[in-house]
């Protein structure tokens, strides 16, 4: 089975992120078309101040073509945080993803923001950042400041 890697959702780095924020380029599974696995490229940020993983509806629905699962009765409307700012969420999606060019796949649940185009593609919270051992994968992530300002 072959893979397709069209760019989708990849942000203009210097305009969307805090200059000290950590990020990585990831590949997200978007389904199969004509017996070919479709993977999309996105920017994954890391936020150690929250346990919640977040994704924009622009990426989840517009680029990946996913359906947003509704929140259960216990969590009808949720407010999460990203870099100290409150973010309303509307549902969730489950993603299969990997760091770009890595064979290790991750299955992770992401809360979908209510805002269609927040200042990130996707954010990995503290628990999952630790679980995927980001600290042991320094070659996969960079500091935004180094990426956008020291080229």
Domains and CATH numbers, the chain: 2-149 (2.40.70.10)
Record the tokens describing residue 104, joined without a space. 């290790």
Contact 89, 113 (CB under 8 A): yes
Among the residues of the chain, which ranges form H helices?
13-16, 57, 126-131, 144-149
Q: Report the C-alpha gap between 97 and 148 in whole angstroms.
A: 24
With 80 as the cut, is the pLDDT of residue 16 above it? no
**Mode of pairing for the β-strands spanning 85-99 and 36-47:** unpaired
Higher pLDDT, 66 or 84: 66
Per-residue pLDDT at 134 exceeds 90: no
User: Which tops the pLDDT comparison, 82 or 1?
Assistant: 82
Q: Which of 2-6, 56-60, 124-128 has the lowest mean pLDDT?
A: 2-6
Q: How confident is the model at residue 56 (pLDDT cuts 50, 70, 90)?
A: very high
Alpha-carbon distance 145 to 101, whole Å? 23
- The mean of the pLDDT values for the chain is 76
Question: How far are the Cα atoms of 3, 34, 62, 78 from residue 51, in angstroms, in the given order?
Answer: 32, 37, 25, 13
pLDDT of residue 24: 83
More confident position, 51 or 69: 69
């Amino acid at each position: 089975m072959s893979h397709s890697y069209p760019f989708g959702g990849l942000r203009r780095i210097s305009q969307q992120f805090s200059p000290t924020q950590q990020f990585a380029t990831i590949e997200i599974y978007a389904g199969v078309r004509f017996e070919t696995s479709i993977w999309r490229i996105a920017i994954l940020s890391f936020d150690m101040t929250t346990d919640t993983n977040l994704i924009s509806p622009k990426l989840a629905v517009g680029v990946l073509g996913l359906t947003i699962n509704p929140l259960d009765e216990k969590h009808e409307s949720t407010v999460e945080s990203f870099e100290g700012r409150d973010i309303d969420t509307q549902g969730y999606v489950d993603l299969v993803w990997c760091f770009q060019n890595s064979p290790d796949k991750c299955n992770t649940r992401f809360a979908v923001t209510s805002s269609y185009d927040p200042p990130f593609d996707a954010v990995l919270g503290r628990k999952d950042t630790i679980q995927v051992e980001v600290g042991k994968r320094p070659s996969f992530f960079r500091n935004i400041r180094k990426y956008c300002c020291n080229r």
